[in-house]
Structure 1
Amino acid sequence: MLRVAGLARRFWPVTLTIAVGISGILLAVAGAGDVVKWLFSAYSLAVAAWQGIGMVRALLRREFGLDILAVTAIVSTVVVGEYIAALLVVLMLTGGEALEAYANQRAKRELDALLSRAPQLAHLAVDGGYRDLPVSEVRVGDVLLVRPSEILPVDGILLSAETSLDESSITGESIPVEKRAGDAVLSGVVNGQAAVEIRATETAAASQYQQIVALVAHAAESKAPVVRLADRYAVPFTIFSLILGAVAWWVSGDPVRFAEVLVLATPCPLLIAAPVAFIGGMSRAARNGVIVKSGGVLEQLSAAKTVVFDKTGTLTHGTPAFSGVRAEAPFTADEVLSLVASVEQYSSHVLAASMIAAARDRGLPLYEAEDAREAATNGVIARVHGREVVVGKFAFVAEHAPDARRTEIDAGELAVYVAIGGQYAGALLASDRVRANAKSTLQRLETLGVRNSMMLTGDASETAHHVASELGITRVRAECLPADKVTEVAGITERPVIMVGDGVNDAPVLAAADVGIAMGAKGATAASESADAVILVDDISRVARAVRIGRDTVRIALQSIWLGIAISVVLMVIAAFGMIPATAGALLQELVDLATILAALRAVGGRLDRRQSAADAEQFDDSTRVIAGSRT
């Protein structure tokens, strides 16, 4: 009862219209039919005037709306004495907001679910017990209790022996994941049937789920540019409706025909169907592990012609591991590895840890450098035992060792070059495996109309071209700085352009692309903030899925619009011959609105996802067999 009262207050124009209608019925029963006519007519004209003022203000802002049809329909029905039809048109007009709210609520289920699940409390371990505190007060290093079936409040490390976690809210995968002591755990996932302790590694604001919530909140508040989509049809639909009504009046000589046509031309299909479809598409994307920040992104995705990928962490797993040394005489492999590992102690490069670990595994000594400096994006220079050791890209090393030469590498490998005392000492090899579904993702993108692909990377040219050739990418730009990537994307003529990246250095180019997609599963916050869409799982195939969702959403929005227009036009033509009375026409138009909105809600896409998941699995299996066959 309270909920009904709340809805009545929220949608007071609808409540008032219904109240006027009930009053009219009671007056008619009491024999006051003339009063009913004046009541309905006066109220309808008051609403028309209210709508007309808003319409004039919009026109002064040079915004053409569809309100002119509704206002004209109300006025014309009152003028010709069809006051019941006038009230029904008013009910449809005022009820549009309530109908849209209902449809949006259905369409936003996944977005709302993510927001409502955000944990509010954490159980802090204190003096042999636990104390509840707001999640916002958790600090790094705090030990927290997570009870059975509770949501993990912050990112952390599992302290208990083991647990099973439901990560479906983050990854979209329903199968529980087993975790053991020492494993990293993410906020937002649901604990299993055993209470466990975790140590917080991030505050709530910096944790994975809170970042997702922030993205979802932004997406939920955004307004899709579907007004443009509807406005493409608004002017011709309005002109057609007015002309048809005028012709019917002129041919028949009966002004009632004009009103009968106009009540069937009310614009709810255009005003509601497209926004509902786009909100449904955003919700569907969230269910598939992709947060789309606005409906306009879906529109761009649907029309994309080119996709550009970063390499490391995007097309590859991003965790290259040391695989061998190719030393040049007079240097030995152990000597080169020992000196390189010593130098890499002063580097922040992703390979540094694996080289240091490889040296330690072989029992090689690590030396302190007399001085060391890192050249951003190029390598490291250090002095060890009086000799200059240079480690990094080929061009960088060649500046210090003129005799340097490139080494041959296989697909998925990269080479780090070394100069010792101004002499070329060889190269260290590392492998960064290409994602198993990268090739099938590119194939799916091509079938979806994204036929141009490109790879931009800061890695060496040999590595980049090896990976590109394995995946079928024909356009490659290697050894790029962030500014180079922006320039390359700006120069692409086949637009819209999708850019997919994962690191902080990708943030500028993600912002510069028509659609920037961040692989945000590993917490690439800067990239996520710059992107238009964020993939919440470490799965590149979601890029193709996002494009598919964009195409489906725009298709369903257009289908819904055309469905509403087509039915309305057919009914208007019939009404032009005097075969649909104004009151019946107004009731029929309510059914048209309902059918249009139900059609738009298909964008939520449960059935579409099930069909697509089956197709993805089949294509992935085929692609895996092809790759496996090429390596045997």
Structure 2
Amino acid sequence: MKRVRAALSAYPLVFATLAAAAAGLVLLATPARAAAPWVVGGYALAIAAWEAVGMIRQLLRGHAGLDILAVTAITAAVLVGEPWAALVVVLMLTGGAALEDYAEHRSKRELTALLRKAPQRATRVLEHGAAAAAGSAAETATEEVPVDAIAVGELLLVRPGALVPVDAILVSDHAVFDESSLTGESLPVDRAAGERVSSGAVNGASAVVMRAAAVASDSEYQQIVRLVEQAAGSKATVVRLADRYAVPFTALSLLIAGIAWAVSGDPVRFAEVLVVATPCPLLIAAPVAFLGGMSRAARFGLIVKGGGTLEQLSRVRSAAFDKTGTVTTGRPVLERVLPQSGFSEDEVLQFAASAEVYSSHVLAGSVVAAAKQRGRALLEAQHAEETATNGVTAVLASGPEGAAVTVRVGKPAWVREHAPALAPAAVQPGELAIYVAVDERYAGAIIMRDRVREEAADVFAALQRLGVERTLMVTGDVAATAEPIAARLGIGEVHAECRPSDKVRIVSEVQPRPLIMVGDGLNDAPVLAAADIGFAMGARGATAASESADIVNRYDSLSALPRAVRIGKDTVRIALQSIWLGILISVALMLVAAFGFLPALAGAWLQELVDLVAILGALRAIGPRAERARSGDRSASPSSPTPSAPAPAA
């Protein structure tokens, strides 16, 4: 009963049309059958008048829509004595909203699934005593609050099977999380005290205590939700192009109908032609196809922010790449630590890792992992703040002799502002240097070596097959490091030692267009925004890169790039096929009706069939059934990306 009431409130005109049809059929079975055409025709004219008001408003705004065709068809059918055919056209108009609503929900299934899983509530720990601070979940006083009410630094209780409400640092000694909705990794992930866990992860079998590291609006899953909402509300270029077909299609329909009337001398022929001049392929097919394409992309961890991006992807001719975290894994291994006088290697690594856990850049996880491999416990931070493109600052609760210290980790120029004694470390090709300062003293550098992604060579070959003519690497790293990697992968040109402004200038001058720029970290945000298509590689949702990019890759695999291009090409092809299929079938039916071989009532029902054909054709953009089945097998998904941090070298 609730569903019936919901349907009545959502689609009142559909039910009114069905009620008018029922009333007309009842009258036909009574002595008052002569009133049936008047009831049906009168209702059809009332709907035509209602639609005409909207049509006039659109015309006054300068938008020539397809309503004029439907209004003319209804009116003509009633005037020539075909009220039942007019009622079928009315059913098409009123039922079109229901068809479109179904098609949109079907095509947005993966997008809306992400929205439904967003954390809504959190359990705040009220008892800030020793047990809570130590991570004990037993006998802890708590309260349920909206997730937006959580502040950074507050203790949270996450019960078994519950979502992590905001990005948080694990306080309990150990926990297991399901991060498949964030990373695509099907296997549970073990986390230890001090590690950062993203919102949206599902806790395992034991309740744990965590400390909020970000407010809800800045947390990863909420950022993903915001990107999804932005994507779902977009309108593609090809959809606007479909709108422009309205005038020529209407003119052609009226011309065919007018000629049929003039040649035959029968005004009924005019109505018979117009009732098969269906506008639904133009109104519905393109939006449904593009929503289906975005939903298909979301199934593989790709958030496409707009339908126009899919249209650009279908024509992409050039591709530019950052190096660190993009062509390379962004998870380098520790080579060596270069401590300064007064600091040991383990101290430098411990300070850096304790600060980097609060960073969002792609290299942070590698520093944290290196410290744990050496058995260095992370120090608790009283305050932490990340400076975009430069590094992270953290006030650690305990340092030498138990005093609080301020640790800065990041690029040499930024760290040198607070530690003037800093001198650049000597690095070999392929190595990265991360600089560390404690209070106002330069503590040392951490040298790490990155690795080229295993899938990189296949990705560049796939892009070439998909029509990408020019590839280039645009990196802040030195030429000695970048050029061997580019040569190994067949990248045509290398631009090394680039500042963010240099990247923007280089990318803006590249031909042929459109160009897709693939980057990862905060320092790539300007060039991602400047490119025709910005592709945020492993952006983890909350970085500036994901805010400025057109596509956000939630899974840490470069193989998503050619898949995105392929989805763009498929989506545009299917959208245009659906539009033209509907138009061609409609024109064919109009010509049949023009010669008098298609009665108005039969034509009106065939019109409904054409609408269904166009919608079902557009729904192919969701992807083949076999692909959907494979995407559900998370064991084939890329492995979980590590948390991220400021990259001084790229």
TM-score normalised over the length of structure 1: 0.81
Q: Which runs of 5+ in 1 are unaligned?
A: 326-332, 367-372, 394-406, 418-426, 621-632
Aligned equivalent of 1:144? 156
- For 1:99, give the aligned amino acid: L
Query: Given the alignment of the two structures, is residue 553 of structure 1 paired with residue 545 of structure 2, yes or no?
Result: no
Aligned equivalent of 1:8? 8
Deviation at 1:309, TM superposition (A): 1.4
Write the distance in 1 (CA, Å) between the matches of 2:251 and 2:635: 49
Residues 78-116 of structure 1, C-alpha deviation per residue, up to 9 Å, x if partnerless? 221111101110110121112111111111122222112
Deviation at 1:474, TM superposition (A): 0.9
Query: Given the alignment of the two structures, is residue 438 of structure 1 paired with residue 453 of structure 2, yes or no?
Result: no
Deviation at 1:376, TM superposition (A): 7.0
Residues 48-71 of structure 1, C-alpha deviation per residue, up to 9 Å, x if partnerless? 233233333333333232222212
Q: Among 547, 550, 567, which residue is 1:529 paired with?
A: 547
Aligned equivalent of 1:248? 260
Query: Given the alignment of the two structures, is residue 469 of structure 1 paired with residue 502 of structure 2, yes or no?
Result: no
Q: After the TM superposition, which of the residue ranges 179-188 and 576-585 deviates more from structure 2? A: 179-188
1:393-542 equivalence runs, <5 A: 409=429, 412-413=430-431, 430-522=448-540, 524-542=542-560
- For 1:142, give the aligned amino acid: E
- For 1:503, give the aligned amino acid: G
Deviation at 1:378, TM superposition (A): 5.7
Write the distance in 2 (CA, Å) between the matches of 1:231 and 1:441: 36
Q: Among 203, 217, 220, which residue is 1:191 paired with?
A: 203
Query: Given the alignment of the two structures, is residue 598 of structure 1 paired with residue 616 of structure 2, yes or no?
Result: yes
Change (3 A) 1:36 1:484: same
Deviation at 1:587, TM superposition (A): 0.9
1:50-89 equivalence runs, <5 A: 50-89=50-89
Query: Given the alignment of the two structures, is residue 299 of structure 1 paired with residue 311 of structure 2, yes or no?
Result: yes
Contact kept? 1:154, 1:200, Cα under 8 Å: yes
Contact kept? 1:343, 1:380, Cα under 8 Å: no
Change (3 A) 1:302 1:173: farther
Write the distance in 1 (CA, Å) between the matches of 2:187 and 2:624: 19
Aligned equivalent of 2:214? 202
Deviation at 1:208, TM superposition (A): 0.9
Deviation at 1:562, TM superposition (A): 2.3
Q: After the TM superposition, which of the residue ranges 146-155 and 295-304 deviates more from structure 2? A: 146-155
Contact kept? 1:136, 1:203, Cα under 8 Å: yes
Aligned equivalent of 2:386? none
Contact kept? 1:146, 1:196, Cα under 8 Å: yes
1:30-49 equivalence runs, <5 A: 30-49=30-49
Write the distance in 1 (CA, Å) between the matches of 2:603 and 2:446: 78
Query: Given the alignment of the two structures, is residue 586 of structure 1 paired with residue 589 of structure 2, yes or no?
Result: no
- For 1:573, give the aligned amino acid: L
1:219-230 equivalence runs, <5 A: 219-230=231-242
Aligned equivalent of 1:95? 95
Write the distance in 2 (CA, Å) between the matches of 1:521 and 1:246: 58
Write the distance in 2 (CA, Å) between the matches of 1:561 and 1:532: 26
Where 2:20 maps in the other structure, the secondary structure is: helix
Q: Among 328, 331, 350, which residue is 1:316 paired with?
A: 328
Write the distance in 1 (CA, Å) between the matches of 2:188 and 2:161: 12
Change (3 A) 1:334 1:240: closer
Contact kept? 1:380, 1:391, Cα under 8 Å: no
Contact kept? 1:507, 1:530, Cα under 8 Å: yes
Write the distance in 2 (CA, Å) between the matches of 1:160 and 1:15: 57
Q: Which runs of 5+ in 2 are unaligned?
A: 128-138, 375-399, 401-407, 436-444, 639-650
Deviation at 1:3, TM superposition (A): 2.1
- For 2:189, give the aligned amino acid: V
- For 1:63, give the aligned amino acid: H
Q: Among 250, 266, 284, which residue is 1:272 paired with?
A: 284
Residues 499-552 of structure 1, C-alpha deviation per residue, up to 9 Å, x if partnerless? 122222222111111111223544552111111221112222222222222122
Q: Among 222, 231, 238, which residue is 2:243 paired with?
A: 231
Contact kept? 1:392, 1:416, Cα under 8 Å: no
Q: After the TM superposition, which of the residue ranges 205-214 and 83-92 deviates more from structure 2? A: 205-214
Deviation at 1:143, TM superposition (A): 3.4
Aligned equivalent of 1:544? 562
**Alpha-carbon RMSD:** 4.0
Where 1:81 maps in the other structure, the secondary structure is: coil
Where 1:499 maps in the other structure, the secondary structure is: strand
Write the distance in 1 (CA, Å) between the matches of 2:329 and 2:98: 47
Contact kept? 2:411, 2:434, Cα under 8 Å: no
Contact kept? 2:82, 2:601, Cα under 8 Å: yes
Residues 429-470 of structure 1, C-alpha deviation per residue, up to 9 Å, x if partnerless? 742111222222222222222232121111112212122112
Q: After the TM superposition, which of the residue ranges 374-383 and 174-183 deviates more from structure 2? A: 374-383
Aligned equivalent of 1:625? none
Q: After the TM superposition, which of the residue ranges 70-79 and 581-590 deviates more from structure 2? A: 70-79
Where 2:616 maps in the other structure, the secondary structure is: helix
Aligned equivalent of 1:263? 275
Write the distance in 2 (CA, Å) between the matches of 1:383 and 1:339: 20
Query: Given the alignment of the two structures, is residue 574 of structure 1 paired with residue 607 of structure 2, yes or no?
Result: no
Q: After the TM superposition, which of the residue ranges 552-561 and 83-92 deviates more from structure 2? A: 552-561
Query: Given the alignment of the two structures, is residue 390 of structure 1 paired with residue 408 of structure 2, yes or no?
Result: no
Aligned equivalent of 1:328? none
Change (3 A) 1:321 1:133: same
Write the distance in 2 (CA, Å) between the matches of 1:154 and 1:99: 38
Where 1:391 maps in the other structure, the secondary structure is: coil
Q: Among 267, 289, 302, which residue is 2:301 paired with?
A: 289
Q: After the TM superposition, which of the residue ranges 465-474 and 244-253 deviates more from structure 2? A: 244-253
Write the distance in 2 (CA, Å) between the matches of 1:306 and 1:12: 50
Where 2:330 maps in the other structure, the secondary structure is: coil
Q: After the TM superposition, which of the residue ranges 512-521 and 271-280 deviates more from structure 2? A: 512-521
Q: After the TM superposition, which of the residue ranges 168-177 and 90-99 deviates more from structure 2? A: 168-177
Write the distance in 2 (CA, Å) between the matches of 1:612 and 1:159: 37
Write the distance in 1 (CA, Å) between the matches of 2:239 and 2:422: 61
Q: After the TM superposition, which of the residue ranges 194-203 and 524-533 deviates more from structure 2? A: 194-203
- For 1:83, give the aligned amino acid: P
Deviation at 1:319, TM superposition (A): 4.3
Aligned equivalent of 2:106? 106
Deviation at 1:268, TM superposition (A): 0.5
Query: Given the alignment of the two structures, is residue 154 of structure 1 paired with residue 166 of structure 2, yes or no?
Result: yes
Where 1:145 maps in the other structure, the secondary structure is: strand
Deviation at 1:17, TM superposition (A): 1.9
Write the distance in 1 (CA, Å) between the matches of 2:302 and 2:344: 44
Q: After the TM superposition, which of the residue ranges 577-586 and 61-70 deviates more from structure 2? A: 61-70
Change (3 A) 1:67 1:389: closer
Contact kept? 2:318, 2:513, Cα under 8 Å: yes
Write the distance in 2 (CA, Å) between the matches of 1:335 and 1:189: 39
Q: Taking every aligned residue pair, what percent have the same amino acid on both sides?
A: 55
Write the distance in 2 (CA, Å) between the matches of 1:25 and 1:375: 78
Where 2:123 maps in the other structure, the secondary structure is: strand
Q: Among 556, 561, 565, which residue is 2:583 paired with?
A: 565
Q: After the TM superposition, which of the residue ranges 474-483 and 21-30 deviates more from structure 2? A: 21-30
Contact kept? 2:236, 2:307, Cα under 8 Å: yes
Aligned equivalent of 2:648? none
Contact kept? 1:145, 1:195, Cα under 8 Å: yes
Contact kept? 1:266, 1:589, Cα under 8 Å: yes
Where 1:443 maps in the other structure, the secondary structure is: helix
